[in-house]
Amino acid sequence: MSLEIRPVADKRDLRRFIALPSSLYRNEPRWIAPLNMDMHKRLDRKGNPFFKHAAAEYFLAWRDGQPVGRITAHLDHRFNEFQGNDWGMFGFFECEDSRETAHALLGAAESWLREHDRDRMVGPMDFTTNDECGLMIEGHERPPIILSSWHHPYYQALLEGEGLEKAMDLLMWSLHIRGRSRVRDAIWRMADRVESEHGIVCRPMRKRDLQAEVSRFLEVYNAAWERNWASVPLTEEEVHHYAKDLKPVLDENWAYLAERVDTGEVVGAALTLPDFNQVLAHLNGRLLPFGWAKALYYRGKIDAVRVFALGVKPEYQHTGIAARFYQMHFDAAERTPQKGGEMGWILETNRPMNRAMEGMGGEIVRRFRVYERSLQ
């Protein structure tokens, strides 16, 4: 059967690009379809502010007139400037269980990146480390939590069979937010001293003042993560774009800022999200015509959260703000239906954070791998 790789040429192709995973995972109960409208927004070159400093091509693999795989090739000038490299990325990889198809898709992405003078291909990233990234290689027994992917186990063999090598592993930890006795006493002692010894108050984000709160979050996010492997700072426009998507999910019980009492400077932030994937599991990618009613019903049944981002400005990381945020998670669990969940991802090389998760009684429950290949 003939195989052909073609760029996405029009809106009809884009709909097929977005719909492809539904056919590849049709017999997999753990896979959860993202909302189609959200995928259209992410891939929209005119509406997504990522494309103000980036370029991309989308490819579909066709076999006998049917799409059987997809991939993107993209470059981010902002990322390259910040990191001082000439990397290119691939992402949104989905593929039938075929070495031939995987080879052709990766070859198309590589050729596009070479044409744009990239010296390394890294991925999967959808589109950056600020988005969903990495191939899940451990944790397939669990359904995906909010803003994370679930991949067929055979994908690892497809990518590694094409000579892609590990660049970095990203870890997801279990998060226990009941049973305070499981946590080391030193963490609670640190949390109790944050205000009295360091003059820092931790408070919930105010949803009614979301735009201003997002700007405060951005200040911490870009400072706390700027030294991370493959990181790239978010622009003001990008973070507000994300905020619009997250506003329906955001819960003031689970999102916090840390501020200095004397100056009001924001020095830490924690964004934890109720696991809205538990709602998406019932929607099959669509809110219309009846998805809204289902969403409202199942939202009240969410019993888990994901700590999506928890960071402290480097000069304040000794003050115990992270411990205080964790303490606030326990307080929130006592008044909400959510009693546990996951935290991450966390770089495998981030020893302080990984040790902290061990101290909090966590276990690694998922592992995502980012691959690379030299193009020189």
Enter the DSSP assignment of 349: T
10 Å CB burial of residue 141 (0-12, 13-18, 19+) is exposed
**pLDDT digit string (tens) for the chain, length 376 residues:** 699 999 999 999 999 999 999 999 999 999 999 999 999 999 999 999 999 999 999 999 999 999 999 999 999 999 999 999 999 999 999 999 999 999 999 999 999 999 999 999 999 999 999 999 999 999 999 999 999 999 999 999 999 999 999 999 999 999 888 778 878 888 899 999 999 999 999 999 998 888 889 889 888 988 888 778 999 989 989 988 888 888 888 899 999 999 999 999 999 999 999 999 999 998 888 776 656 677 778 888 999 999 998 899 999 999 999 999 999 999 999 999 999 999 999 999 999 889 888 887 889 999 999 999 999 8
pLDDT of residue 150: 97
pLDDT of residue 122: 98
Closest CA to 276 of 189, 375, 146: 146
Q: What is the spatial distance between Cα 65 and Cα 3, in angstroms, rounded to a whole number?
A: 9
pLDDT of residue 298: 80
Three-state DSSP class for 146?
coil
pLDDT of residue 290: 59
* pTM of this structure: 0.93
pLDDT of residue 291: 67
Three-state DSSP class for 151?
coil
Domains, the chain, in order of start with CATH, read 3-171 (3.40.630.30), 174-367 (3.40.630.30)
